[in-house]
Amino acid sequence: MKLIAIKLENFRGYQGINLINIDSNLTGIIGKNDAGKSTILEALDVFFENSSLDKNDKCVSCAEEDNVSITCIFDDNPTSLILDATSVTTLQNEYLLNSEGYLEIKKTFRINQKVSTDLCLIANYPNNIGLDNLIILKNAELKALIKAKNLDISQVQDQRSNTSLRQYLFKSETLTFHSKEIPLNKEDAKNVWDALKNFLPIYALFKSDRNSSDQDSEVQDPMKLAIRHALSEIQPQLQAVQEHIKTKVEDVAGRTLEKLSEMDSALAKDLIPDFSKEPKWESIFSMALASEQGIPVNKRGSGVRRLILLNFFRAEAEKKFREADGRSIIYAIEEPETSQHPDYQEMLIKALLDLSILPKTQILVTTHTPALAGLMPISSLRYITKDETNQHVIAHADCNDILKSISEDLGIHPFGNISNPQCRGYIFVEGVSDVVFLKHIFSKYAEKGLIHKDYIAELDIQLLISGGSDNLKHWVNYKLIESLQKPWAVFFDSDNDGNDCQKYQQNLASQSKYSNIIFHLTAKRECENYLHPNVILRVSNNRLSYTPDNFSDQKVILTPLLSDFIAIKKSNLIEKLWGNSTCEEIIESCTDQQGNNEFLQFIKRIEGKFGLTEPEKKTA
């Protein structure tokens, strides 16, 4: 199941009904302090029952008789449900989806001396007299209704099945529909909730202001989540254990009451075996992290402690690649930049973006840091403000005015030295590695006479790091470049792993958006895949044999191989090695079997677009 929207009604600062749409991959919730960003994440924590709601969570501006409600709307819902022991049904057949075909679950909290909770579905349900409450009726009540309507119950093949009885009743009339609340904590509708909650996503909230010991929060919470996830995989076995224990205990209780009735029958009748409390399996297990030097994690710096948490997501990303089944999971991270160096902030958001595109995974992030917000896809941003009456306004970043407000609010500004009058045009790249990569190619091609001159070194072309093709930082620079009225191009890694992965498909889609400009995606996976074997041989003093691959992750492959020879990290592989490439090696690594020189073709297109080959402009 995928969360597609949340409605907050009278929860904390959100008076009345407020709708927040959620992206299928990553949602960035942007706003100033006290705008209500964290409230959204904490409301979801209440909905998924990881925390409780108290009377102070009711909006102070609403009336005394108003209730608090949290509603979640889901897509990718289960294709079948077992609501009784004898039959299988679907949400569609039971008319339990809303008017748009989504599953909408509402939790209402009535706050008096204590908090009580009502649970319901918002469904487009039959409105016919007698058929407008079938989901809550017991088997005997359904049979009685069939008899009262003078219908032939023998036409129902399995009269033990409530599902079969309901379907027979639904088919007996021409149905009309209306939107209504279907209570799930009443009568037989409880079976619907018992079935649905096994499909709900696992929700994990990580807050920036939590403690950072190794036993109870920032470090421990990921371990607890791992325990819950592992337990969910063996739920049938746990249910069998629970039923076995319940049967044995009820047997002992029954025999005890039988003996008690011989001595005091009144007392025995007054006692009823009650096994209603569900076991908390996750509380049985715990795990701690300790360093090899014996230093407890909770004695390390706050940045280190939080970094352990953040890298939990990276570990989960690798695990998710190996898994195809199981419940979906929602990671909600409040201000993940807290206590992190800017370099780690950028690494973090890229890791979260990678994780978010995996199946059955959604990421929700709140931030007011430009470094993080600027790297998120524009379509993922939700901008929260308050109007003059202190009411919340939730805007999607889908128009220039909103984007301008976000960029000004967060301080995401264009590059400083972008208006060089000598510059003839701009090439957007993703990061520092791409700058190093292209600079060396332009330099070597100019030395060899393949191009007129080194346009980058001589300032005809300026390279700008945008961080990605569809993020806020790119939008800011895009608008500025439009105002300068100079040509521009885009050079990005294709991220093609050879299997038409989702990230590659997204990059292709981005390329198609910019048909009016030069948008070059590398033929190989990324810049590292163009490293020539001779470069590796020279760096390793002829001790390493290396065969390049067009689509494998060369950072993962080469970094451990070369760490014995030079100080190197995955993030600076190109910076360390690419400058050792000769022009001949570059040409060989970027020329396909048909003799097409990929980067020479790219530069020739740039020359034509920027007007760099016209004789009268060579000295500009």
- Joined tokens for residue 538: 């020279």
Distances (CA, A) of 299 to 202, 302, 304, 348: 30, 9, 10, 23
pLDDT score, position 416: 56
| pLDDT tier, 377 (very low <50, low <70, confident <90, very high otherwise) | confident
Average pLDDT, the chain: 83
**Span 460-482, pLDDT tens digits:** 998 888 766 677 877 787 777 77
**Span 38-52, pLDDT tens digits:** 999 999 999 998 888
pLDDT over 70 at 27, yes or no = yes
Tell me what the mean pLDDT of segment 313-332 comes to: 63
pLDDT score, position 517: 84
**Span 155-212, pLDDT tens digits:** 998 888 889 999 999 999 999 999 999 998 876 778 888 888 888 988 878 775 544 4
**Which of 127-131, 316-320, 496-500 has the lowest average pLDDT?**
316-320
Neighbours of 229 (CB within 10 A): 18
- Joined tokens for residue 132: 């407008």
286 three-class SS: coil
Element (H, E) at 465: strand 461-465
| pLDDT tier, 301 (very low <50, low <70, confident <90, very high otherwise) | low
Nearest to 129 by CA among 149, 113, 159: 149
End-to-end CA distance of the chain: 58
Q: Which residue has the higher pLDDT, 204 or 343?
A: 204
Residue 490 CB contacts under 8 Å (≥ 6 apart), including other chains: 427, 428, 469, 514, 517, 518, 519, 520
Q: 449's torsion region: left (phi>0), alpha (psi -120 to 50) or beta?
A: left
Tell me what the mean pLDDT of segment 343-352 comes to: 71
Q: Which residue has the higher pLDDT, 231 or 172?
A: 172
pLDDT score, position 612: 87
Residue with tokens 């002992």: 252
**Span 522-545, pLDDT tens digits:** 999 999 999 999 999 999 988 888
Q: Which residue has the higher pLDDT, 189 or 27?
A: 27
pLDDT over 80 at 220, yes or no = no
pLDDT above 70 covers a percentage of the chain that reads 84
pLDDT over 70 at 337, yes or no = no
pLDDT score, position 512: 78
Annotated domain spans of the chain? 2-23+36-200, 425-617
**Span 411-448, pLDDT tens digits:** 777 765 566 778 889 998 888 889 999 999 999 999 99
Distances (CA, A) of 72 to 5, 48, 202, 262: 6, 10, 14, 53
pLDDT score, position 618: 40
pLDDT score, position 616: 41
pLDDT score, position 222: 54
pTM of the model: 0.69
Q: Which residue has the higher pLDDT, 296 or 2?
A: 2
Q: Which residue has the higher pLDDT, 219 or 528?
A: 528
How would CATH label the architecture of 2-23+36-200? 3-Layer(aba) Sandwich (3.40)
pLDDT score, position 310: 60
Residue 4 CB contacts under 8 Å (≥ 6 apart), including other chains: 21, 22, 24, 73, 74, 75, 102
- DSSP-derived pairing of the beta strands 361-367 and 381-386: unpaired
**Which of 1-15, 65-79, 181-195, 445-459 has the lowest average pLDDT?**
181-195
Phi and psi angles of residue 75, each rounded to the nearest 5 degrees, phi first: -120, 180
* CB-neighbour burial class of residue 503 (10 A; exposed 0-12, middle 13-18, buried 19+): middle
